[in-house]
Structure 1
Amino acid sequence: MEKLTLASYIISDKRYSVRDLNKIDLSKFVNIEDVDHLDPSKIDPDYITGAIIMKYNDQTILDYSEWDDLNYFWPYFIDSLDELLENNNSNFSFPSQALPVNMEIVKDRLIFQVGQHRLNMQASDFYEIVLAEADNFYKALLELFPRFESEYNSELQKIDQLINKSKVMFSKYG
């Protein structure tokens, strides 16, 4: 059985920076589901640093070592997912790292590769899980930084449109 888990974590204090990938202080990363544990005054809204943790069938695809500016990562990922529906392949790089992400759709399967890690799963499930997490991320940002409501709502609208497009695309596979 295929199982994909995905979670967004924000670094709780803009003064903290990962300097050594072997010594990452995980206590500085807060799951966006715990947004009430974040102090907006300690986070730079222009550079919301954090990590996406992705696991597929007990294999880690993304972890804390791929930390980056999530407020740039998520729009790249969303736009790439949209492009993927149009072209059956798409790629982008992490905003602040030379870490390529490649995606391809083959019939009803999605092949996702980042660095040396790869997964091949039901495309409709991948879209559902990833877009739900993107939605959670932007709703958490709305709580943290309500003054950016129009920007975040714009991303939430893109997510809703992409959910609908992906449902139509993959409905032909049952």
Structure 2
Amino acid sequence: MIKFKSLIKINDDYIDINDIAFSYQLKNIDWDYVEGKIVIFYYEKEIFGSNVVDDINWFWGFIADGFEDFFKNGNYDIGFPSQPIRFTIMKRKMNLINLKISSEKVVYLNKEFNSMDFLRSLFSGAINYFNFEKNFNKDEIFEMNRKIKLIESYNDMLF
């Protein structure tokens, strides 16, 4: 169905965080601003992300630290940290969510998804990133655990 992947820039390439196994691969990473891409796949076809580079650690942090607004209001709107791009999620019906990713001039994605599939995948992508950073950035273990617990609490709200 839908899948969120995090890629980080290593040298001149963007590498899926799931393909990184050794800390020496990350020796030049600035953990305050992790340059990368959030790539979204729908039925194995990329529908967003290869052309938008940003600080993915901040993006996932925004998801963790503010998503309760979605459960209260039925919508959630954040900006990409370093781009004039909005990531907007709106509840349409009980089982549908609309995701719109846009700037003032460009609509990158405007699509409806099954609510449960979308939210589970979004939360899985966030937890995957936080576990990755926890494994390689020992200075942020406490903070990554806090964010994982927040996301898990959102996951619990789905049932």
Task: Write 1 or 2 for the structure with the bigger share of helix.
Answer: 1
Q: In 2, distance between residues paired with 1:111 and 1:79?
A: 21
Residue 171 of structure 1 is matched in structure 2 by none
Q: In 2, distance between residues paired with 1:55 and 1:80?
A: 23
Q: In 1, distance between residues paired with 2:137 and 2:20?
A: 11
Q: Is the 8 A contact 2:3 2:121 kept in 1?
A: yes
The Cα offsets for residues 22-55 of structure 1, whole Å up to 9 and x where unpaired, read as: xxxxxx1111111215623210111111001102
State the identity as a percent. Answer: 20
Alignment of 1:1-174 (within 5 A): 3-13=1-11, 28-37=13-22, 39-57=25-43, 60-106=46-92, 107-115=94-102, 116=107, 117-167=109-159
In the superposition, the TM-score normalised over structure 1's length comes to: 0.80
> Amino acid of the residue matched to residue 12 of structure 1?
I
> Amino acid of the residue matched to residue 6 of structure 1?
F
> Amino acid of the residue matched to residue 91 of structure 2?
I
> Please, which runs of 5 or more residues in structure 2 have no aligned partner?
none
Q: Is the 8 A contact 2:63 2:126 kept in 1?
A: no
Q: In 2, distance between residues paired with 1:158 and 1:82?
A: 9
Between 65-74 and 80-89, report the one with greater CA deviation. Answer: 80-89
SS of 2:32's partner is coil
Max Rg structure = 1
Give RMSD over aligned pairs. 1.7
In the superposition, the TM-score normalised over structure 2's length comes to: 0.87
> Please, which runs of 5 or more residues in structure 1 have no aligned partner?
17-27, 168-174
